[in-house]
Amino acid sequence: MPIPMPAEAVLDRYFLDMRAKVLDVAATLDRIDRADGSRTVRRDGRLGQLREAIGVLLSDEGDRAARVQMIFSDPYEPNWPRPPRRS
C-alpha cells in the first residue's frame, strides 16, 4: 500500500496548478461581468452552482470533491430509462 504524501509535500506539488485554476475561474467570472447581458445571467442556475461549489471549496469540511460533484450532478433516479443495448 502506498504511503500518502505529507500535507506540505502535497501543497508544494499542487499549489501552482491550484492557483492557476482559481485564477482561471476568477478571470472567467470577470469576463461575464464585463460582457453585454451580464445582469441577466446573474440569476442563471449555472452561476448559482459555481457559487455553491466555491463555498464548498472554502469550507473546512472534507470530501470537497464529492460534494462539488454532487452540486453539478442530477439526483439519482432508479427509474431512469436505460439506453438500448448495442449489438
pLDDT in tens, 72-82: 998 888 998 88
2 pLDDT higher than 90: no
What is the number of other CB atoms lying within 10 angstroms of the CB of residue 43? 8
pLDDT of residue 80: 86
DSSP string of 17-46, one letter each residue: HHHHHHHHHHHHHHHHHHSTTHHHHTT-HH
Distance CA 49, CA 68 (A): 9
pLDDT of residue 82: 86
pLDDT of residue 21: 98
3 pLDDT higher than 90: no
Is residue 54 a contact partner of residue 68, using CB atoms and an 8 Å limit?
no
Residues 46-69 pLDDT 10s: 999 999 999 999 999 999 999 999
